[in-house]
């Protein structure tokens, strides 16, 4: 699967992407085009992958980069962004909106989390490599050509086929207090039922990490999951994207009110994450979004090979809200079973 990399020292400067964009990113007006990713293979000697991109520019103002489809089995983001790309009116834009609804196009085409071409997880390989495989080349282009043009980056995710989430907008705890304040202010405008300050178990190679380290505002989302979507979740995605464009002054419009007030929460430490200790069949005991106490049983896991055994019971290690849970009925040891979010106390002291 993975292609051997050329030796270090033979490659041109990091900024020289091998990807060509068919539209001018820097001119006023609205253009739909593609990122042309070279992909020579047995089936297509001089072939390429074409990743759709839309740019809308209306004079001076901030640039917001909106991406979806980093994982190919997540749908709210790509659907909302495809709709937005069609709807955006350049006469209402002050600044620039760059939209890439299906960043990992090969994965979107196959409805898989990882790219079927090289087995890579796009959101674990940033800032990518100009001389890497297809996924890595796209990541490299996104970081060096798109993020570097942007003031604000929003990467829309959801749980894919294996997780389900209370629809939420997500940021990380940031060391820079000014960037933390700006990001929190944007987080509050999104209008999802839950807004999360997330502690990642592993943030190496995420788009989030490289954008945050560059000092730009970065937001992500977890808008649902189970490899599908719902009208309610699409509406949350549509509203969130619209409200962020309003918040940053990129479009001349009024924000849309959320159906319920946003509850600001976080995952303070590893006790928020429940990992399966046994393989088996999942019996969920708590609905997504429900309140749990410390010690509340969240899942029973039944042995389908040894039905005479008592099921393993996974209990919440802290009180809070069942923010995410394992989606498939079959679970393996080491799978993420559930995430418990708690109210964000830090928010009380923040403006």
Provide the binding-site residues for Ca ion, judged by CB under 5 A. 71, 157
Per the structure block, which two tokens stand in for 310?
A: 């008592």
Nearer to Ca ion, 137 or 163 (CB): 163
For the chain, the straight-line distance linking the first and the last C-alpha, in angstroms and rounded, comes to 49
Encoding tokens for residue 273? 């994450």
Give me the phi and psi of 230, to 5 degrees please.
-140, 160
Vertex 335 angle, CA 332 and 338, to 5°:
125
Query: Closer to Ca ion at the Cβ: 71 or 140?
Result: 71
- CA 311-316-322 angle, 5° bins: 110
Give the nearest distance from C-beta 309 to Ca ion in angstroms.
34
Which pair of tokens denotes residue 72? Answer: 């190919």
Write down the least CB distance from residue 156 to Ca ion, Å.
9
Q: How far is the CB of 112 from Ca ion (least distance, A)?
A: 12
Given the complex with Ca ion, which of 30 and 157 has the nearer CB atom?
A: 157
Please state the closest distance from residue 90 (CB atom) to Ca ion, in A.
30
Which is closer to Ca ion, CB of 30 or CB of 71?
71
What is the rounded distance in angstroms from the CA atom of residue 92 to the CA atom of residue 190? 20
Query: From the CB of 163, what's the least distance to Ca ion, in Å?
Result: 8
Specify the long-range contacts of residues 46-51, CB closer than 8 Å, at least 24 apart: 49/105, 49/106, 49/117, 49/134, 49/138, 50/105, 51/100, 51/102, 51/103, 51/105, 51/138
**Distance separating alpha carbons of residues 180 and 173, to the nearest angstrom:** 7
Helix (H, G, I), strand (E, B) or coil at 283: strand
d(CA 298, CA 312): 11
- Beta carbon nearer to Ca ion, 131 or 208: 208
State how far the Cα of 42 lies from the Cα of 45, in Å rounded to an integer: 6
Query: Considering the complex, what minimum distance in angstroms separates the CB of residue 230 from Ca ion?
Result: 17
Nearer to Ca ion, 52 or 72 (CB): 72
Closest approach of Cβ 98 to Ca ion, in Å? Answer: 20
Which residue is nearest to Ca ion, using beta carbons?
157
Q: In the complex, what is the shortest distance from the CB of residue 74 to Ca ion, in angstroms, rounded to a whole number?
A: 5
Closest CB to Ca ion among residues 71, 161? 71
Calpha distance 288→305 (Å, rounded): 28
Q: Measured from the CB atom, is 34 or 228 closer to Ca ion?
A: 228
């Amino acid at each position: 699967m993975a292609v051997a990399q050329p030796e270090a020292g033979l490659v041109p400067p990091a900024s020289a992407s091998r990807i060509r964009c068919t539209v001018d990113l820097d001119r006023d007006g609205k253009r739909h085009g593609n990122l042309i990713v070279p992909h020579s293979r047995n089936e297509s000697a001089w072939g390429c992958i074409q990743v759709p991109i839309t740019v809308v520019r209306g004079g001076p103002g901030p640039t917001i980069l909106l991406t979806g489809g980093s994982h190919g089995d997540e749908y709210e983001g790509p659907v909302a962004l495809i709709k937005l790309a069609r709807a955006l009116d350049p006469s209402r834009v002050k600044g620039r909106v760059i939209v890439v609804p299906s960043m990992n196009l090969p994965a979107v085409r196959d409805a898989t989390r990882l790219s079927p071409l090289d087995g890579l997880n796009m959101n674990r390989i940033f800032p990518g490599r100009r001389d890497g495989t297809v996924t890595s080349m796209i990541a490299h282009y996104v970081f060096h050509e798109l993020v570097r043009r942007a003031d604000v980056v929003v990467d829309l995710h959801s749980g894919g086929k294996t997780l389900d989430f209370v629809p939420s907008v997500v940021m990380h705890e940031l060391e820079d207090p000014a960037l933390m304040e700006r990001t929190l202010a944007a987080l509050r405008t999104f209008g999802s039922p839950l807004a999360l300050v997330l502690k990642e178990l592993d943030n190496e190679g995420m788009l989030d990490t490289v954008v945050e380290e560059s000092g730009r505002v970065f937001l992500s989302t977890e808008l649902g999951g189970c490899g599908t979507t719902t009208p309610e979740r699409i509406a949350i995605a549509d509203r969130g994207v619209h409200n962020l464009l309003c918040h940053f002054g990129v479009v001349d419009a009024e924000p849309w009110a959320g159906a319920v007030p946003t509850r600001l929460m976080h995952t303070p430490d590893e006790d928020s994450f429940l990992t399966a200790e046994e393989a088996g069949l999942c019996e969920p005991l708590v609905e997504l979004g429900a309140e749990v106490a410390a010690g509340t049983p969240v899942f029973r896991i039944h042995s389908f090979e040894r039905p005479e055994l008592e099921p393993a019971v996974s209990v919440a290690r802290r009180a809070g809200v069942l923010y995410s849970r394992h989606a498939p009925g079959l679970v393996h040891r080491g799978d993420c079973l559930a995430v418990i979010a708690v109210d964000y106390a830090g928010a009380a002291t923040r403006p």
